Amino acid sequence: MRVIESLLIDGQWSSGTHLHQADVFNPATGEQIAKLSLASTADLDRALAAAQRGFQVWRKTSAYDRSKILRKAADLVRQRSDEIAALITLEQGKPLAEAKLEAFGAGDHIDWYAEEGRRAYGRVIPPRVRGVRQTVLREPVGPVAAFSPWNFPVSQLVRKIAGALAAGCSIIAKGPEETPSSCIELCRAFQDAGVPEGVLNLVFGVPAEVSDYLIRSDVIRKVSFTGSVPVGRSLGALAGQHLKRCTLELGGHAPFIVCDDVDVNAVAALGAGLKFRNGGQICASPTRFYVQSSVYEQFVEAFCKAGAAIKLGDGHDASTQLGPLANPRRVTAVQEYVDDALALGAHLALGGKGTGGPGFFYPATVLTDVPEGARVMCEEPFGPIASVVRFDTVEDVIEKANSLPFGLAAFAFTRSIQRATLLADELESGMVSINHFGLAAPETPFGGVKDSGYGSEGGSEGLDAYFTTKFVSQIG
């Protein structure tokens, strides 16, 4: 069995000490395709020492020179995006077209941070006493420990790497063990572009052991995690205990609100496209479809029609629109959500049963009239299930939408400017997208409120996360 050379430490690729390995599977067949070498604590110690040295080099590299290297990395990622996309599909399962967008789009994220890093201005504050010069400097926070998940192996990781590097930080990134190869190629592009040794380090390992070891280390000054709420809560607590800055991009349960004044069929088609993208394994995926009563039946019919037309298959097949789920855990979880909702009285309008293998396939599934207490209405489904529920007034739907502890993304559709403004103002969500899908561009902040975490990736806020503030007062 092929062993993936997975560790990038101090500019060198290696398979580490080989003490522990993880199995990597193709979710479309369920077959094991490789073994992944995992970092030992000795490997992590080397990575920490490298990140410490790398930080001293990189923080003294001018923003101009950092930007040039990052732009070169962006070009390399774009040039290699077909190969990177094939690796995403092989290990994660999403259709190749979606993987290509992810891989090619990574170049955009790097370019944006490269530009923004050159504009990380401080400021001058007028003094009370003549002759005093008061300046505010923005300095890189220090070596970063970053943890990224398997649902977007490249675009989740690239935001952390590009943000940290643009600010002048070094980074130890722990990639997702289930989908390592595209992460490795992403890091190779940074390395080939000229990022100095030790500045970017990539490891894989036993997640809880790696995060515990890195966050406790004195070397690490900032933690960034994307993943589930329970893990985010525990990493945030550990980071707090050690007074490390932290960005947490956690789960969501996005409401998708359809008012009665819209083109219902068009909104249903858009909603189905958004829902079933990446098999619904997206933190900002619409999950609770609230539809105003007078257009409810029409919406359900159009939504199911669009969902039924979605072709399930191996992501490498050009006609596939819905690939396998990334791992068998998701298939089990999705089936449990469906069975629970049906037992509580929901109606199954589409799908509802996994194909049973080979591979981890689950079809586009629509549940209607789902009771509020059903697990799928309360827990993040992270799968291809749309739950459709009716509502009567906008005030009523705002209350329903805000009733969960999540607050990542929300979508709303209405032609009324008053309703749109009310929804934008009242939805408890880090991101609100009205009448279209308008989230996740490199230049816009991406992040949640409540249990969905804190801090943003993307936008100028994404870069701010990697800076500290230094105030200098000088006379003479």
Beta bridge partners of 124: 135
Catalytic, 169? Answer no
Which residue shows structure tokens 């005093």?
132
Stretch that binds ligand NAD, among 75-83, 246-254, 347-355, 390-398 (CB under 6 A): 246-254
Site string for ligand NAD, 7-46 (x = CB under 6 A): ----------------------------------------
Give the C-alpha separation, 47 to 50, whole Å.
Answer: 5
Q: Footprint of ligand NAD on residues 48-67 (CB under 6 A)?
A: none
Q: Which of 285, 251, 260, 288 is nearest to 376 (CA)?
A: 288
CA 149, 153, 158, 164 torsion-angle sign = positive
Closest CB 223 distance from ligand NAD, rounded Å:
10
In contact, 386 and 275? CB cutoff 8 Å:
yes
Active-site residue, 428 included: no
3-state helix, strand, coil in the chain (%, to 5): 40, 25, 35
Residue 80 or 174: the one with the smaller Cβ distance to ligand NAD is 174
Does residue 382 touch ligand NAD according to CB under 6 A? yes
Query: What three-state secondary structure class fits 147?
Result: strand
User: What mask, x for binding ligand NAD by CB under 6 A, covers residues 317 to 346?
Assistant: ------------x-----------------
The amino acid present at 29, given as its one-letter code, is T
CB 281 within 8 Å of CB 326: yes
CB closer to ligand NAD, 329 vs 415: 329
Q: Closest distance between ligand NAD and the C-beta of residue 213, in Å?
A: 10
Does 147 bind ligand NAD (CB under 6 A)? Our answer is: yes
For ligand NAD, give the closer residue by CB, 26 or 151.
Answer: 151
- Provide the b/e sequence for 142-181 (b: ≥16 CB within 10 Å): bbbbbbbbbbbbbbbbbbbbbbbbbbbbbbbbbbbbbbbb
176 belongs to the binding site for ligand NAD (CB under 6 A): yes
Shortest Å distance, C-beta 430 to ligand NAD: 12
Q: How far is the CB of 220 from ligand NAD (least distance, A)?
A: 13
Q: Which is nearer to ligand NAD, 74 or 250 (CB)?
A: 250
Distances (CA, A) of 16 to 13, 205, 206, 211: 9, 11, 14, 17
Q: Does 228 bind ligand NAD (CB under 6 A)?
A: yes
What's the chain's length in residues? 476
283 binds ligand NAD (CB under 6 A): yes
Q: Does 226 bind ligand NAD (CB under 6 A)?
A: yes
**Of 67, 211, 287, 368, which one interacts with ligand NAD (CB under 6 A)?**
211
286 binds ligand NAD (CB under 6 A): no
- Angle of CA points 381, 385, 387, to nearest 5°: 95
Active-site residue (options: 249, 379, 428, 457): 249
Binder of ligand NAD out of 172, 183, 231, 376 (CB under 6 A): 231
Residue 304, phi-psi category: left (phi > 0), alpha (psi -120 to 50), beta (remainder):
alpha
249 binds ligand NAD (CB under 6 A): yes
Q: Which stretch binds ligand NAD (CB under 6 A): 73-81, 161-169, 245-253, 289-297?
A: 245-253
Q: Examine residue 380 and tell whether it contacts ligand NAD (CB under 6 A).
A: yes
Which residue lies nearer to ligand NAD by CB, 120 or 210?
A: 210
How far apart, in whole angstroms, are the C-alpha atoms of residue 32 and residue 9?
Answer: 26
Q: Using the rule CB under 6 A, is 217 a contact of ligand NAD? A: no
Distance CA 436, CA 439 (A): 9
The count of chain residues that interact with ligand NAD, using the rule CB under 6 A, is 20
Between CA 380 and CA 251 the distance in angstroms is: 7
> Which residue from 207, 328, 445, 459 is in contact with ligand NAD, where contact means CB under 6 A?
207
Cβ–Cβ < 8 Å for 410, 431: yes
Q: Which of 169, 259, 283, 304 is catalytic?
A: 283
Q: How many CB atoms lie within 10 A of CB 274?
A: 20
* Residues designated as active site: 249, 283
The residues that touch ligand NAD, with contacts defined as CB under 6 A, are 147, 149-151, 176, 207-208, 211, 226-228, 231, 235, 249-251, 283, 329, 380, 382
